[in-house]
Amino acid sequence: MSAQARDTILGRIRTNLKKGPGLTGPPPAVRIAPPRVAPEAYVASFKERLEALAGRVHHVAQPEEALAIVQGIIGDKSTVASNAPILARCGITRLGNVQSGFTDAASLKEASAQAEYGITSADFALAETGTLVMLSSHEEARMASLVPVRHIAVVETARLLSGLDELLGRLERPNDQTASMVLITGPSRSADIEQILVRGVHGPGEVTVIFVGP
């Protein structure tokens, strides 16, 4: 069915466009804008942007400080953590109420569905918009930042970029290295009822980002 539909559709397109296979000309050149934020202002800009969306941002020099902040937030609540090395380095995965080291989807799903907090890292962070860039991999599962009620990301400060343009300048085709690139800009929100803002409607209702390192 599909093969026949394919040929019909492609045929109809060529007939109506009066063209054969191939390009009629080159596409317009890619337009990547120069960075809008200077590197020394990355953290401040990220913080301003994410806080405007009701997110929270911390910046610490040492892994132990990140651990203290995480402990202060999660208390004894049930938590899942991704397999990102920085979480182990900070000692987060050794906390008693933190489950981590998941290797299969079923157990991660079950644990995340029960968890109050999901802790991950991020591959990049975008200063211009307060965005976390998550590339799915064996280190970062998709559900850890999505299914729990609240999300905490512990990210090396060096992962900050200016913005979307710089990201796409570096990763010309993000899918060359991942099946899923997700940009997270603030908590889950909806305005579907009377345009009244509600947070945490499906994804996490709170997002906290902790930058580690100078």
The torsion angles phi and psi of 17, rounded to 5 degrees, stand at: -90, -5
Q: Does 147 bind another protein (CB under 8 A)?
A: yes
Calpha distance 78→209 (Å, rounded): 19
Q: Does 158 bind another protein (CB under 8 A)?
A: no
Q: Which of 2-10, 60-68, 72-80, 115-123 is the region at the interface with another protein (rule: CB under 8 A)?
A: 2-10
Q: Does 41 bind another protein (CB under 8 A)?
A: no
In single-letter form, the type of residue at position 15 comes to: T
79-81 vs 117-120, strand pairing mode: parallel
Centre a 10 Å sphere on the Cβ of residue 165 and count the other Cβ atoms it contains: 17
* Residue selected from 9, 41, 61, 158 as contacting another protein according to rule CB under 8 A: 9
Number of residues located near another protein, criterion CB under 8 A: 79
Q: Does 181 bind another protein (CB under 8 A)?
A: yes
The full length of the chain comes to: 214
* Residue selected from 95, 141, 209, 212 as contacting another protein according to rule CB under 8 A: 141
The number of C-alpha atoms within 13 Å of 56 and in the hemisphere containing its C-beta is 13
* Residue selected from 40, 72, 96, 195 as contacting another protein according to rule CB under 8 A: 195
Q: Does 33 bind another protein (CB under 8 A)?
A: yes
Q: Does 44 bind another protein (CB under 8 A)?
A: no
Token reading at 6: 């394919």
Calpha distance 55→58 (Å, rounded): 10
Binding to another protein in span 104-133, by CB under 8 A: 104-105, 108-109, 113, 128-129, 131
